[in-house]
Amino acid sequence: MDFDFSEDQRLLKDSVDRLIADRYAFESRKHFIKEPNGWSAEMWAQYAELGLLGLPFSEDLGGFGGGMIETGQVMEAFGRGLVLEPYLATVVLGGGLLRHAGSAEQQSELIPQIIAGDLKLAFAHIERHSRWTLNDVAVTARKDGSGYLINGEKGVVLHGDCAGKLLVTARTGGAQRDAGGIGLFLVEANDPGVSRKGYPTQDGLRAAEIAFANARGVPLGDPDDALGVIERVVDEAIAALCAEAVGGMGEMLAVTTDYMKQRKQFGRAIGEFQVLQHRAVDMFVSLEQAKSMAMYATMMAASDNAAERRQALSAAKVQIGKSGKHIGEEAVQLHGGIAMTMEYKVGHYFKRMTMIEQMFGSTDHHLAVLTDGGGLF
């Protein structure tokens, strides 16, 4: 199998890597996080100009026509830069739901706005009781004329405070944990029935608690059978997070080995001590394992075999969680006290790794999914 990038993919990777290296230094990130939305509007415009916001969308709609490989390249670079902008929320999650479930009219209306950088989306799915069970939905959608009335509450909606439109999961029928009777609805964020409370998350990103009181929603796809689409897009998001985590882990390893060459103890650079060299090598091994599984996740995220795809993505999430924890802990310990300060970037990378480990299912959760499914096919 050929794992080499095409010429277009190499050009994309080079341009994104260069943008993040030039514009997303850690000191710049500190300024971006203080902006009104908690991220840089100027950088968002840059992503639009480079075509990154149109990456997964068809060329007919003005997009790049890329797949999970291209998305992974962008997310890995974003992981190295600890990027704050709502790319995952808008392009991967929101855009993925539009691509897979939206009608031709919905796509032609909304996707060009995303590509231009004018529209931000948020996926409102998590509820207090649901944890990582995608079919555990209590928010309701009741038919009303040509649309639906949405009632209930969603939590930890990634970048839900700045989104112009919300993609909301709601139940049109069945019991709370039934696989059927779940719909996906497009809701205007400024609808009178929507109230939002935004806040920063531990990794410096933004999220929101959102309540719906007879908010008007328009269905995407079948309002009674959206679970399959939701599962597919979540799997794509997990693959994207795996790539982001690889970028962050690689940066932690690079910063740590550089620090070991400079920090002196007993008159010698600490990197000269063999026991610390062994620990750095173990970090490298964990990173290589994560890279392999992230590549596997990228390939399998496009599979139409839902059961096979789910097992593969769970396996990747397990390895990413283990590698991220190992590399993060070692990076902090090898740096010593400085890594625990807000002024130094290693701790921020470890926070992001910890949040990625929890998103869409923890390591233990996905290990249970993998075990219950009989392991990899």
68-81 tens-digit pLDDT: 999 999 999 999 99
297, 289 contact by CB (below 8 A): no
Average pLDDT in the chain: 95
Give the closest residue to 290 by CA, choosing from 333, 332, 335, 244.
244
Ranges 176-185, 200-209, 366-375: which has the least confidence: 366-375
| Cβ contacts of 80 within 8 Å, gap of 6 or more | 17, 20, 247, 248, 250, 251
Residue with tokens 């997070």: 241
Q: Residue 187 carries which side chain, given as an amino acid letter? A: V
The answer, yes or no, to whether residue 7 has pLDDT greater than 80, is yes
What does the pLDDT read at residue 2? 61
What does the pLDDT read at residue 242? 98
The CATH architecture annotation of domain 228-372 reads Up-down Bundle (1.20)
pTM for this one?
0.96
Please state whether beta strands 206-219 and 194-200 pair in parallel, antiparallel, or not at all (unpaired). Answer: antiparallel
What does the pLDDT read at residue 329? 96
The answer, yes or no, to whether residue 44 has pLDDT greater than 90, is yes
* CATH of 7-119 given 2.60.220.10, 1.10.540.10, 3.30.110.40, 3.40.50.620: 1.10.540.10
Burial of 145 per CB tally in 10 Å (0-12, 13-18, 19+): exposed
Tens of pLDDT, residue by residue over 64-122, are: 999 999 999 999 999 999 999 999 999 999 999 999 999 999 999 999 999 999 999 99
Please state whether beta strands 182-188 and 206-219 pair in parallel, antiparallel, or not at all (unpaired). Answer: antiparallel
**Would you kindly state where each structural domain of the chain is located, as residue ranges?**
7-119, 122-224, 228-372
Tokens standing for residue 114: 């995303």
Instruction: Give percent above pLDDT 90 in the chain.
Output: 90
Tokens standing for residue 38: 């908690």
Q: In the predicted model, what is the mean pLDDT of residues 290-319? A: 96
Please report which confidence band the pLDDT of residue 23 belongs to, taking 50, 70 and 90 as the band edges. very high
211, 189 contact by CB (below 8 A): no
Q: In the predicted model, what is the mean pLDDT of residues 33-57? A: 96
The answer, yes or no, to whether residue 1 has pLDDT greater than 60, is no
CB-side neighbour CA atoms (13 Å) of 239: 30
CATH superfamily of 122-224: Butyryl-CoA Dehydrogenase, subunit A, domain 2 (2.40.110.10)
